[in-house]
Amino acid sequence: MTDNDFVIRTEGLTKLYGKQRGILDINLDIERGEVFGYLGPNGAGKTTTIRTLLHFIFPSRGRASILGLDIARKSLETRRRIGYLPGELEVYSNLTGAELLEFLSHLRGGVDWQYVQELAGRFDYDLSQRIKTLSHGNRQKVGLIQAFMNKPELLILDEPTIGLDPLMQQEFYRLIGEAKAEGRTVFLSSHIMPEVERVCDRVGIIREGRLIAVEDIDVLKERAIRRLEIHFAGSVSPEQFGNIAGVRDVQVQDNILTCTVAGEIDTLIKTAAQYHVVNLISHEPSMEEIFLAYYNQEDDRAA
Amino acid sequence: MLRNIILKTLRDRRRSLLFWGLGLVALAVIMVSFFPVIRDAPFISDYLESFPEEFLALFAGEVTDYTSPEGYLNGELFFLMYPLLMLIFSIGFGSGAIAGEEERGTLDLLLSNPLKRWHLVLDKFIAMLICTLLLTFVFWAALAAGGAIIDMGLNLARLAAVCFSGFLLAITFGSIALAVGCARGKHGLSIGVGGALGVYAYMLNALAPLIAWLKPFQVASPFYYYIDANPLKNGLDPVHAAILIGLTVIFLGIAIITFERRDLAV
């Protein structure tokens, strides 16, 4: 396999910052048309990886290529073909949205202004407002519009949905879907599991600067741990639930059963259905729980 | 005005330029309109001579023929006031150009575009040249107009020479501030270094003629190349002008090289 087969390829990419944590030996192979989620808690190294790919910071070791071009030697050409949304977006807030996008479009050699207006319409974004008067969510919209407006081959989006209200998040997911349908590639970072589950084909999990797993989203979902809370009308016995495969930490108190489930929840639901169920609450797993799921299963395999 | 970095930078500065221009015009008009009082009072020269030489040297240079238009303008404007204001403007510009954007966080979005880092620095530098030159011209025009009204009999080409010499001094320090900002990404540091060097250079040039051991070091001060050849009287000294231009090019080079080679701050 050569660089040309991948939209993003990193080999042993490392960035060390004195005593601060950077990223260590990141190996990524991202294929054309993929939506790749880069999942990890804040401070894990997501932004460091992305800023290295854009050549804002230079790797201590290792190398990377984008669209078959070495990021250090061909940085200009790669940036020409990338749409980028910074993690902590700062724009020229004395400009209006239209002025900012006009300026950026000149730097990129022009864009289809009709598409800009279409994007603004879809995000319900007022281009004539001075950016400094906008809420955080509306600033994020202008960031997304500029990333998408040239229809780039590769979108690199650092925490794209922060500050967006749920309706706008849906619109964003639709845009990702359209980009994928057109054969473009998306690399997005997130610290929210459900978001990654929702839009990504593959996920890389980064923790403390190391890439600990790269999985298809289906595999990740199977491994995902959910915390469930089932409220019953009468009493139930914990033993009956504790014996179900994948179910752990069963506790019953005041007719309320709590447990964690790894993978499928079908058997658990069917068992519960034999009783009178009053309520069913599912908690999304936190990043820590996802990591724990990984480490526990690695241990299981070893044993 | 948003077609490229240079125009965008000029656009960002338009309000600041307007007020700087108005300030410089006011300064020129006030100073010139005061001249007839000096001209018609010959005892002023005697009065000035009663001051300690060191005191005058510090604020007005070597004061000779203070009642002539050239002597008056040199002492009152060109020795301290004009270069001081031009340096404040250009150091502010140079330090804000890269380090200012970096600290505000707008540099990431800017450089995510297909734009070479050296190109960005060069564009910002050119914008600084244009703005500083514009102020130089405004100051020259105000002095020329004021001088004409009160019949000062100024040689406009020589007046342009000293104004332009001040422009060269200003961009020398502006490019020092730009270089510090490019190398370290710190706005405040770059203003501080540029400003401190400006004060040292001024003091060195002003005091060296009076202190024997300091005299050999006077040529180390850019201020020496700005004013010592007395461009208002003698026209622009090509060697002195070339030295200021050379210094500017060197600091621009340092700015570009250091900025190309370092990590951008978040």
What structural domains and CATH numbers belong to chain A? 3-221 (3.40.50.300), 225-284 (3.30.70)
Please state, in angstroms and rounded to a whole number, the distance separating the CA atoms of residues A39 and A286.
12
The number of domains in chain B is: 1
Please state, in angstroms and rounded to a whole number, the distance separating the CA atoms of residues A115 and A130.
21
Taking one residue from A and the other from B, the number of pairs with CB-CB distance under 8 angstroms is 65
Q: How near does any CA of chain B get to the CA of A170, in Å?
A: 25
Q: For residue B3, what is the nearest residue in chain A, using CA coordinates? A: A106
pTM comes to 0.90
In a domain, residue B1? The reply is: no
Any A CB within 8 A of B114 CB = yes
> For an interface test with A, which of B3, B15, B113 has the most A Cβ atoms less than 10 Å from its Cβ?
B113
Higher pLDDT, B212 or A298: B212
Instruction: Give every residue of chain B whose pLDDT is below 50, as ranges.
Output: none
Any B CB within 8 A of A86 CB = yes
What are the b/e assignments for A126-161, b being 16+ CB within 10 Å?
Answer: ebeeebeebeeebbbbbbbbbbbbbebbbbbbbbbb
In a domain, residue B5? The reply is: no
Any A CB within 8 A of B104 CB = yes
Question: DSSP assignment of chain A, as one string?
Answer: --GGG-SEEEEEEEEEETTEEEEEEEEEEE-TT-EEEEE--TTSSHHHHHHHHTTSS--SEEEEEETTEETTTSHHHHHHTEEEE-SS----TTSBHHHHHHHHHHHTT---HHHHHHHHHHTT--TTSBGGGS-HHHHHHHHHHHHHTT--SEEEEESTTTT--HHHHHHHHHHHHHHHHTT-EEEEEES-HHHHHHH-SEEEEEETTEEEEEEEHHHHHHH-EEEEEEEESS---HHHHHTSTTEEEEEEETTEEEEEEES--HHHHHHHTTS-EEEEEEEPPPHHHHHHHHHHHHHHHH-
In a domain, residue B43? The reply is: yes
Supply the pLDDT for residue A303.
Answer: 44
Residue A110 has pLDDT above 70, yes or no: yes
- Residue A8 CA, chain-centre distance (Å), reads 16
Any B CB within 8 A of A48 CB = no
Q: Which residues of A touch B112 (CB under 8 A)?
A: 54, 79, 82, 84, 86
In a domain, residue B266? The reply is: no
In a domain, residue B178? The reply is: yes
pLDDT tens column, A233-244: 998 888 888 888
**Residue numbers of the domain that contains B52:** 16-260
Label residue A1 by pLDDT band (50, 70, 90).
Answer: low
pLDDT tens column, A121-140: 999 999 999 999 999 999 99
Partner-chain contact A88 B105, CB within 8 Å: yes
Any A CB within 8 A of B111 CB = yes
In a domain, residue B252? The reply is: yes
> For an interface test with B, which of A57, A81, A90, A157 has the most B Cβ atoms less than 10 Å from its Cβ?
A90
Please state, in angstroms and rounded to a whole number, the distance separating the CA atoms of residues A275 and A288.
32
Question: HSE (CB half, 13 Å, CA atoms) of A62?
Answer: 20
Q: Which residues of A touch B5 (CB under 8 A)?
A: 107
Q: Which residues sit opposite A203 in a β-bridge?
A: A37, A215
Q: For residue B100, what is the nearest residue in chain A, using CA coordinates? A: A92
Please state, in angstroms and rounded to a whole number, the distance separating the CA atoms of residues A158 and A45.
11
pLDDT tens column, A18-52: 777 799 999 999 999 999 999 998 889 999 999 99
ipTM of the complex as predicted: 0.90
In a domain, residue B213? The reply is: yes
